[in-house]
Amino acid sequence: MAQLAKAPVSKTGDSRFESWLPRLQDEERTSVDSERDDLADLLARRALTEDEGRPEAVRRRHEAGGRTARENVEDLIDSGSFVEYGRFAIAAQRGRREVEDLLARTPADGLIGGTARINGDLFGESAACAVLSYDYTVLAGTQGAVGHRKKDRLFELIERMRLPTVFFAEGGGGRPGDTDYPVVSALDTRAFALWARLSGLVPRIAVVAGRCFAGNAVIAGCSDLIVATENSSLGMGGPAMIEGGGLGTVDADEVGPLAMQARNGVVDLCAADEAEATELTKRLLSYFQGDIPAGAEPDQEQLRRLVPERERRAYPVGPIVETLADEGSAVFLRERFAPEMVTALARIEGRALGIVANDTRHMAGAITSDASDKAARFMQLCDAFGLPLVSLVDTPGFMVGPEAEATGLVRHASRLLVAGGSLSVPLITVILRRGYGLGAQAMAGGSLHEPLLTVAWPSAHLGPMGLEGAVRLALRKELDAIPDESEREQRVRDLTAAAEQNAKALNAATLFELDDVIDPAETRSLIAATLAAARRNPPARGHRFVDTW
């Protein structure tokens, strides 16, 4: 076998490499005394991308009442955890602007993005997330050619690494001023398809402050949850597009103000400003990151008093949700939209879950088209990300009548049934008071025997339709034969009272229509025990997208 060649050795016995050492040591001493030119260039270029290197832009942003993109990102993430992508990108406008100007005025091409940890104190390594933010101080947060490439890169990484994502979406939409890429329509841009493809795969939260139009609004609209500030204006087209379409002149703040977008259901959670929006976003994200140690348990005996004894008396269902949940853990979504249906994220014994409930203060708890959409979409969201559901029922059923039907009720109501019937996560149903008709069935996933557990409180009564209406319909001829109106109405009341006795939950339980009738104070512990049992064999979930509405 051939011998390996040996390195030449000097007469003194030292390797030839030792002759380099004095020169290397001299260079090392020089680098300590004076910074290397290449490192100095890097640090100088990096300074242009930081807020400290752009004092005038930062000053204008603060004077307008906003925070910079980097301030929002830093407030959201765990300190020191940000791994940034595309920091040194600039706007694709070399054809009409000097590079030095682009470096100074278009850092990151107006899009900051990367990976980080959020809520690491609660979830450790599983707190890994992606964070992106348009930068309104750069060309009004518009979407540039290089920025689109950055989004493409990050969206593909998010899919590969399954990273929950937060996107600060403020900005004016597509940017017409880029010159360095040949383009006619730009309709081949992939970012929107890649972002939409993440639906149901990873939870995505958009934060909207200030103006958010066109492509930026689509980023928000494709997200699973939207948090918006009081000064936000969110729309598929900004003032320029509106005027260009011959639709008149509209002030930017009037295109889609929060009062409108919260009432119509576009916005899930409202915040006073960017600081509160960021804090709410961290909290929302936590429900999708996992379980935490059990929180304080509210006094469960309060539940015995929260449903009025008078069955026609309306009451807020929010306190019931908050009493069942770990103290302070409930967050109510889309509160201003379809208030007759409540949707909330919460925790019970530290486990994250979703809660849907009827609110009898609005429409007597009847389920409208909007309420159906609100609940169905929330069920999809919880199902996509493995959050069990608790349904609190007090409804006379679906809203009926010509006005209700004019809203497309047949399709919207059926959507709630389809969503409930498609659930793969555990569903637990609690009938608080009225459980009538198809609406009550829809709240229970389509049937009282579809949930893992269906229980009722002693105040509950059930039926195929409202009892008084059933009496009037079934006994119409008998009632019409009573000539005196007051006597006839008394007869209706007597017969309705008799029907109510038959409809009581305890009576329904004798026929095993219900799994149990319980002391309201037992509800929380029964929910926790049932979910613990279900955890032993969780169902397999395929990838399903979450409807944007």
Q: Would the pLDDT of 184 be above 60?
A: yes
Span 246-270, average pLDDT:
96
Judge if 273 and 338 occupy the same domain. Answer: no
- Asked if residue 540 is part of any domain, the answer here is no
Q: Would the pLDDT of 441 be above 90?
A: yes
DSSP-based helix, strand, coil % in the chain, nearest 5: 45, 15, 40
Q: Would the pLDDT of 6 be above 80?
A: no
Q: Would the pLDDT of 301 be above 60?
A: yes
Q: Would the pLDDT of 2 be above 70?
A: no
Judge if 177 and 230 occupy the same domain. Answer: yes
Supply the Cα-derived Rg of the chain in whole angstroms: 30
| Pairing, β 83-85 against β 111-117 | antiparallel
Return the higher-pLDDT residue of 20 and 157: 157
Quick count: other Cβ atoms within 10 Å of Cβ 46? 13
Tokens 């008084």: give the residue: 468
Q: Token digits for 27?
A: 């260079």
Judge if 271 and 417 occupy the same domain. Answer: no
Q: Would the pLDDT of 66 be above 80?
A: yes
- Asked if residue 196 is part of any domain, the answer here is yes
Q: Token digits for 334?
A: 């889309």
Q: Would the pLDDT of 451 be above 60?
A: yes
Span 182-211, average pLDDT:
95
Q: Choose the final residue of a domain: 244, 260, 287.
A: 287
What mean pLDDT, rounded, does the chain reach?
91
Give the confidence band of 22 by pLDDT, cuts at 50, 70, 90: low
The total number of residues written for the chain in this structure: 549
Q: Would the pLDDT of 1 be above 90?
A: no
Write down the pLDDT at residue 104.
95
Write down the pLDDT at residue 33.
58
Give the confidence band of 243 by pLDDT, cuts at 50, 70, 90: confident
Write down the pLDDT at residue 60.
97
pLDDT, one tens digit per residue, over 503-528 is 899 999 999 999 999 999 999 999 99
> How many Å apart are CA 433 and CA 358, to the nearest integer?
10
Judge if 281 and 314 occupy the same domain. Answer: no
Degrees to nearest 5, angle at CA 468 with 466 and 473:
90
Q: Which helix (H) or strand (E) holds 433?
A: strand 427-436
Helix/strand number for the chain, H first, E second: 22, 17
Span 74-84, average pLDDT:
97
Judge if 454 and 353 occupy the same domain. Answer: yes
Q: Token digits for 262?
A: 């919260």
- Asked if residue 18 is part of any domain, the answer here is no
24 contact partners, CB below 8 Å, separation of at least 6: none
- Asked if residue 316 is part of any domain, the answer here is yes
130 contact partners, CB below 8 Å, separation of at least 6: 113, 114, 115, 116, 154, 157, 158, 161, 163, 164, 165, 166
Q: Helix crossing, 409-421 with 369-384: angle to 10°?
A: 20
Span 527-543, average pLDDT:
82
Degrees to nearest 5, angle at CA 315 with 412 and 447:
40
Return the higher-pLDDT residue of 544 and 245: 245
Span 28-34, average pLDDT:
60
Q: Choose the final residue of a domain: 243, 260, 287.
A: 287
- Asked if residue 396 is part of any domain, the answer here is yes
Quick count: other Cβ atoms within 10 Å of Cβ 331? 17
Degrees to nearest 5, angle at CA 527 with 522 and 529:
95
Span 107-115, average pLDDT:
97
Write down the pLDDT at residue 10.
47
Write down the pLDDT at residue 526.
98
Tokens 């017409």: give the residue: 176
* Residue among 298, 340, 292 nearest 321 (CA): 298
Judge if 105 and 158 occupy the same domain. Answer: yes
Torsion sign, CA atoms 260, 264, 269, 274: negative
Span 1-17, average pLDDT:
50
Write down the pLDDT at residue 229.
98
Judge if 266 and 370 occupy the same domain. Answer: no
Write down the pLDDT at residue 483.
83
Q: Would the pLDDT of 549 be above 90?
A: no
Judge if 350 and 202 occupy the same domain. Answer: no
Span 278-303, average pLDDT:
97
Span 523-545, average pLDDT:
85
- Asked if residue 549 is part of any domain, the answer here is no
Give the 3-state secondary structure of 453-481.
EEEECCCCEEECCCHHHHHHHHCHHHHHC
> For the chain, what is the domain count?
2
Q: Choose the final residue of a domain: 257, 287, 317.
A: 287
390 - beta bridge partners?
A: 355, 428
> How many Å apart are CA 27 and CA 33, to the nearest integer?
10
Give the confidence band of 496 by pLDDT, cuts at 50, 70, 90: confident
Please give the model's pTM, rounded to 2 decimal places: 0.90
- Asked if residue 48 is part of any domain, the answer here is no
CB of 363 within 8 A of CB of 254?
A: no
Judge if 85 and 232 occupy the same domain. Answer: yes
Write down the pLDDT at residue 545.
87
| Pairing, β 389-395 against β 225-229 | unpaired
> How many Å apart are CA 132 and CA 49, to the nearest integer?
15
Tokens 């060309």: give the residue: 139
Judge if 282 and 140 occupy the same domain. Answer: yes
Residue 172 lies in domain? 54-287
> How many Å apart are CA 287 and CA 122, to the nearest integer?
11
Write down the pLDDT at residue 170.
97
Give the confidence band of 29 by pLDDT, cuts at 50, 70, 90: low
Instruction: Give the whole-number percent of the chain exceeding pLDDT 70.
Output: 91
Judge if 434 and 518 occupy the same domain. Answer: yes
> How many Å apart are CA 127 and CA 125, to the nearest integer?
5
Tokens 């004798």: give the residue: 510
Judge if 186 and 125 occupy the same domain. Answer: yes
Give the confidence band of 330 by pLDDT, cuts at 50, 70, 90: very high
Q: Would the pLDDT of 51 be above 60?
A: yes
Write down the pLDDT at residue 19.
63
- Asked if residue 173 is part of any domain, the answer here is yes
Give the confidence band of 541 by pLDDT, cuts at 50, 70, 90: low
Which CATH number fits the domain that encloses residue 342? 3.90.226.10
Span 46-66, average pLDDT:
96
CB of 432 within 8 A of CB of 459?
A: yes
